Structure 1
Amino acid sequence: MEKLKSILNTILKEKKGYLTFLTGAGISAESGIPTYRSIDGIWVKGTKYHRPEEFGTYKYFSKNQEEVWQYNLFWKKLIEEAEPNLGHFAITEIEKVLGDRFKLITQNIDGLHQRSGTQKVYEIHGSKQKVRCSKECSEPIDFPENINFKEYTEDLTPDDIDDLKCKKCGNWLRPHTLWFDESYNEKYYHFDTAYDIADNTDILFVVGTSGSTALPVSIVETVKIRAKWIVLINPENDTYFDDILRGCKTLYSIQESSSVALPQLKNIIAEIISS
């Protein structure tokens, strides 16, 4: 960590750009939420008869609303049973120390960053804590409190179905998340904001994500083109990010879990700030 400490010392003393964290499913896996594509992942458990690119689409939802909501209520059950871990709490403490220079962009839709106390979170894939009208007649709203979470095999009740309809127009509500056949946008998924943050980032910490979706890859590539520092924090070293950054002179890799690496990083940043 001595090299990283030297890098951070220079960046923090310059007092210019952002210190940005880009987090993915790996940080939440340590809280017991399976990642999407692992052998015990969400897609494997939840969609036995469907490929993700088929099931996780607006097209599929528009014809199979009850089935998709059964799956999402199972998903919500996993989220509600999970608790933020040491990695989440370390990021919260880093935000307190860095103030306006701190930015957090997350692919995660579980809300664990907010539950750990992080204030400013840009959720580029949406949030399971909210729903919106499938016909877009109104803004996203908080997830209805009176809907019970499900095991994947449980059917929706008539009351569930009623509560999952838009009170304004009567159409189905949908999860406030980005599906495979949808595009990023600023209104719901902070598309322009994410690029602006990347353009003004001095060091990007890529935590627990392999690079399987488009906007996170673009964020990393933007920082790379600007020749700013990128720190990969992941126990694996064979991800897509490892491939596209191989040979990069401004790359630093920490092959540790986020719950181990992030508390160490928090201590380094706090020590430099206080010195």
Structure 2
Amino acid sequence: MNTLYITGAGVSAESGIPTFRGKDGFWTIGSKNYTPQEMATRRMYENNPTQFLSWYYHRFATYRNHGPNDVHFWLADKNLITQNIDGLDGKADNTNYIAIHGRLDQMTLYHNQEQDPKHENISNSKSKVQPIATPWDTVDANNITPTLLQLFNIDPETQNPTLYQSYKPYVLLFDEYYTELYRISEARQRMLDADRIIFMGTSFNVNITQMALEIAINQNKPIEVVDPNPINIPHLYVKYHKMKAFAYIQHH
């Protein structure tokens, strides 16, 4: 049976990675407290890159040295799409998983989403947008803002990112949409090809899980939900495992 696994933040919680929407994702600029949904936007990156990058660094990059847990290793040889950007599935040696929301250890050239590099024939050689490693270890913890601007090639005077010169974290932000840079067509094809889809540790709050559910429901594919407190899925062929992912793998 061709089983597709789709994982969310609950899988990485055992590795000490906090869930994205937790209270520790909040960020204060001046007197205003911003939510993760307000910080993690392309608009914030474009209009206030120093605050965006500082938040991103403290919120995500500080977890870059965390290691995979037993669930990641169990999934290492599985057909997998993850919503997590922590890269722990890669560290567990899954060589063909799709990080549908990007990876915190990588960055790309800042580019127009409308000119998705996998689809458009863009003549400018600078616009060959591919994920590359982000050298987070070059960031000076005592001098964060200047070194972050330097790392992402943003002019320290204007403090504005420049298209096809500056870099942006390889992460899908709330006001962006899935493109081929994030392997969206391949992800959809995996959903179509799957005989069964198992969701692990996800709250079903993002578009990728909705896409998978629609495909499963329309094609009468069986689905399974691994979560201590699963939401109700309006589908005839659904099985619930009311447990954490770690408990699930002990029996499968």
TM interval, shorter chain, is: 0.7 to 0.9
1:172 offset after TM fit, Å?
A: 3.0
1:118 offset after TM fit, Å?
A: 1.2
Matches within 5 A, 1:47-196: 49-92=33-76, 95=77, 102-135=78-111, 137-139=127-129, 140-148=131-139, 150=141, 156-165=144-153, 171-186=165-180, 188-196=181-189
Which residue of the partner structure matches residue 4 of structure 1? Answer: none
CA distance in 2, matches of 1:220, 1:196: 14
CA distance in 2, matches of 1:61, 1:155: 19
Change (3 A) 1:170 1:118: closer
CA distance in 1, matches of 2:136, 2:18: 24
Q: Deviations over 1:87-120 (max 9, x none)?
A: 111112xx2xxxxxx4201101000011112111
Conserved? CA contact 2:178–2:184, under 8 Å:
yes
Match of 1:29 among 7, 10, 13: 13
CA distance in 2, matches of 1:58, 1:236: 32
Conserved? CA contact 1:128–1:177, under 8 Å:
yes
Which residue of the partner structure matches residue 200 of structure 2? Answer: 207
Aligned residues: 229
CA distance in 2, matches of 1:146, 1:170: 23
1:262 offset after TM fit, Å?
A: 2.0
Change (3 A) 1:53 1:44: closer
Which residue of the partner structure matches residue 260 of structure 1? Answer: 247
Change (3 A) 1:171 1:63: farther
Unaligned runs of 5+ in 1: 1-11, 13-17, 96-101, 266-275
Q: Which amino acid aligns with 2:26?
A: V
Partner secondary structure for residue 264 of structure 1:
coil
C-alpha RMSD over aligned residues: 2.5
Conserved? CA contact 1:178–1:184, under 8 Å:
yes
Conserved? CA contact 1:86–1:263, under 8 Å:
no
1:65 offset after TM fit, Å?
A: 0.8
**TM-score, normalised via structure 1 length:** 0.75
Unaligned runs of 5+ in 2: 113-126, 155-161
